[in-house]
């Protein structure tokens, strides 16, 4: 979540928002239909060519102009529908399920494949396991399903491999394959439970770009543990906050953050991308590089950070928005938050249409849209509690410092309140949870998380040159994490901080946003 997202109040027309509506409609239609993608693409081409003909054929009447726009938007919707059909067929097409297959089954197999991601350490209440994704090359075993090359499976290891796999390496693995019947649109994900000693590395991943990024991520994780290795729980929180290793969090820690409404800080999103980009901007300013050229330096660094930390939808959204923000300056234009958000949504859905059903995707975009709409007006209203007299003299040093603290508190309070208002209906709909004091808990936790991530970034940056600096900042981060969990422990003991309620209907959610969005637009208009 990013406080203070810049919007272009001088240009109320947002054509990308209209395009987004049709793109979303087309994506949903494609997921729920069985239409041939080729037919959809042909229909899209007819619509786009007709729109182009009406727009450039000298037709000046308003009816023709309106029809041209409608055909253009319909063409976009049909392209989105065709794209979602193609992506879904690719995701589910590699696994063939016989009609008489039970809901789940297990079978001994030996698999050869390429590691498709970083190894995830998952901390359970009883024991720790390691998981990674494998892109299948061949499968040997008596299976009632056809696992074709290219299909991904999830590999789980409880025994502890001597050498953990690295992205891009080829392995030969033996174990017990488990397979569940899932909805066709979500794909079929086989799961291999490794047999002790049943693994052998075939090829290394030398020269792989992905392997290089993930190796840098592991190096950063090792750097963040220097000097505080014995404090495993705090190290896991630092890793989760900074590098996205959420799987290592202890279940009790996850429960604590969930019950206080602060679990969102572990999503590698705008908070983390914002801090990382702020450090990059600081370096670019120190090097006296002109602002229009920042974009060309930020593209590889922000994209690399986002990819290396797992490329979660919220992180991808924040990365795209940050690049569009700075890209506007490179093109000599004023950045617009809502248009950047719409572009980010369409880019993510173009690559993975199934994200439209993902809870994280929905939360991320709804909350950020709420911040864009309401953060500035709410902050303006909160400032009225201690207004600044424009005719007064320049405040003294102590008063100026208090003003700075007040401005930070106002921005953070508006951020927390906006995020709570726009996320509460979704939390009730998906989970049946209501956390009335989440606004207060976030006021305390978000600044602490900001400081932890800042200390971690300094540890990684300076630790490569001077290891003792890494230890200093790691201890600072550890103290901040300890304070954070102690504060949340106190909040968790407050009666009724976490209320479990029946899950609300979709009509309830829609009604809430039909009230929130017009109210946000109204107070935004009054403030303007």
Q: How far apart are CA 445 and CA 405, in angstroms?
A: 17
Residue 293 neighbours by CB distance under 10 Å: 13
- Which residues, given as ranges, of the chain have pLDDT below 50? 1-12, 93-94, 96-97, 181-187
CA-CA distance, 293 to 96, in Å (whole number)? 50
Over residues 457-513, the pLDDT tens digits come to: 889 878 878 889 999 999 999 999 999 999 999 888 887 777 777 777 888 888 988
User: Locate tokens 């003003």: which residue?
Assistant: 403
105, two tokens: 């089954």
CA 519 to the chain's CA centroid: 27
Predicted confidence at residue 269, as pLDDT, reads: 59
Assess if residue 226 is contained within a domain.
Answer: no
- Helix 359-383, helix 397-430: angle, nearest 10: 150
The residues, any chain, with a CB within 8 Å of residue 214's CB and separated by 6 or more, are 117, 118, 166, 167, 308
Token reading at 18? 């209209």
- Secondary structure element (H or E) that encloses residue 487, with its range: helix 467-492
Let me know if residue 305 belongs to a domain: no
- Asked whether residue 504 is domain-assigned, the answer is no
Residue 130 falls inside a structural domain: yes
DSSP 155-185: EEESS--SS---TT-EEEEEEEEEEE---GG
Pairing of strands 191-203, 152-157: parallel
Is the backbone of residue 210 left (phi > 0), alpha (psi -120 to 50) or beta? alpha
Tell me whether strands 104-115 and 433-434 are parallel, antiparallel or unpaired: unpaired
Residue 105 lies in a domain: yes
For 157, which DSSP code? E
**Angle subtended by helix axes 37-56 and 62-92, to nearest 10:** 160
* 132 phi/psi in degrees, rounded to 5: -155, 165
Location of structure tokens 């290795």: 229
Tell me whether residue 240 is exposed, middle or buried, using C-beta atoms within 10 angstroms of its C-beta: 0 to 12, 13 to 18, 19 or more: buried
Residue 257: inside a domain = no
What is residue 430's DSSP assignment? H
pTM: 0.72
Give the span between the Cα atoms of 442 and 431, in whole angstroms: 19
The reported pLDDT for the residue numbered 378 is 84
Residue 230 phi, psi (nearest 5): -75, -20
Chain mean position to CA 488: 24
Of 450, 472, 454, 452, the C-alpha closest to 463 is 472
Residue 112 maps to a domain: yes
Q: Is residue 436 part of a domain?
A: no
CATH number at residue 105: 2.40.50.140
CA distance 152 to 154: 7
pLDDT score for 527: 61
**Nearest 5°: phi and psi at 115?**
-65, 125
DSSP code string of 99-149: TT--SEEEEEEEEEEEE-S--EEEE-SS-EEEEEEEEEEEEES--SSEE-T
The total of structural domains in the chain comes to 1
- Residue 162 phi, psi dihedral angles, 5° rounding: -65, -40
Structural domain harbouring 111 = 95-206
- How far apart are the C-alpha atoms of 451 and 220, rounded to whole Å? 17
């Amino acid at each position: 979540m990013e406080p203070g997202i810049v919007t272009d109040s001088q240009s109320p027309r947002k054509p990308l928002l209209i395009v987004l509506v049709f793109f979303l409609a087309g994506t949903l239609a494609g997921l729920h239909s069985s239409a041939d993608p080729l037919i959809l693409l042909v229909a899209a081409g007819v619509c786009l060519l007709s729109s182009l003909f009406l727009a450039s054929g000298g037709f000046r009447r308003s009816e023709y102009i309106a029809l041209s726009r409608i055909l253009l938007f319909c063409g976009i919707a049909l392209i989105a529908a065709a794209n979602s059909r193609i992506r879904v067929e690719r995701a589910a097409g590699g696994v063939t399920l016989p009609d008489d297959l039970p809901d789940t089954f297990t079978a001994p197999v030996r698999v050869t494949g390429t590691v498709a991601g970083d190894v995830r350490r998952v901390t359970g209440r009883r024991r720790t396991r390691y998981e990674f994704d494998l892109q299948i090359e061949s499968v040997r075993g008596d299976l009632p399903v056809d696992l074709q090359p290219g299909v991904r499976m999830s590999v789980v290891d409880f025994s502890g491999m001597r050498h953990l796999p690295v992205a891009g390496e080829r392995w030969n693995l033996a174990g017990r394959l488990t397979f569940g019947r899932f909805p066709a649109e979500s794909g079929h994900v086989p799961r291999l439970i490794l047999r002790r000693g049943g693994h052998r590395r075939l090829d290394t991943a030398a020269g792989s770009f992905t392997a290089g990024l993930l190796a840098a991520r592991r190096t950063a994780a090792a750097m963040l543990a220097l000097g505080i290795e014995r404090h495993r729980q705090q190290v896991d929180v630092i890793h989760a906050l900074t590098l996205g290793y959420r799987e290592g969090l202890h279940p009790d820690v996850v429960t604590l953050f969930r019950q206080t409404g602060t679990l969102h800080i572990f999503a590698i999103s705008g908070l983390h991308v914002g801090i990382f980009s702020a450090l990059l901007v600081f370096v670019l300013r120190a090097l006296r590089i002109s602002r229009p050229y920042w974009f060309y330096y930020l593209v590889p660094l922000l994209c690399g950070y986002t990819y290396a930390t797992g490329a979660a939808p919220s992180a991808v959204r924040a990365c795209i928005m940050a690049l569009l923000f700075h890209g506007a300056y490179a093109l000599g234009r004023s950045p617009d938050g809502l248009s950047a958000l719409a572009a980010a949504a369409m880019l993510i859905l173009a690559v993975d249409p199934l994200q439209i059903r993902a809870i994280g995707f929905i939360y991320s975009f709804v909350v950020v849209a709420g911040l864009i709409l309401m953060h500035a007006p709410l902050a303006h209203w909160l400032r009225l509690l201690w207004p600044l007299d424009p005719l007064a003299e320049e405040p003294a040093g102590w008063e100026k410092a208090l003003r700075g603290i007040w401005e930070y508190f106002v921005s953070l309070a508006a951020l927390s309140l906006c995020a709570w208002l726009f996320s509460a209906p979704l939390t009730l709909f998906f989970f049946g949870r209501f956390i009335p004091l989440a606004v207060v808990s976030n006021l305390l936790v978000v600044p602490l998380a900001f400081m932890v991530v800042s200390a971690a970034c300094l540890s990684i940056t300076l630790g490569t040159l001077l290891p003792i600096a890494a230890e200093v900042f790691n201890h600072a981060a550890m103290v901040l994490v300890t304070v954070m969990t102690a504060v949340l422990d106190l909040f968790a003991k407050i009666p009724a901080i976490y209320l479990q309620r029946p899950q609300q209907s979709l009509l309830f959610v829609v009604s809430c946003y039909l009230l929130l969005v017009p109210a946000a637009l109204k107070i935004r208009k009054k403030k303007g």
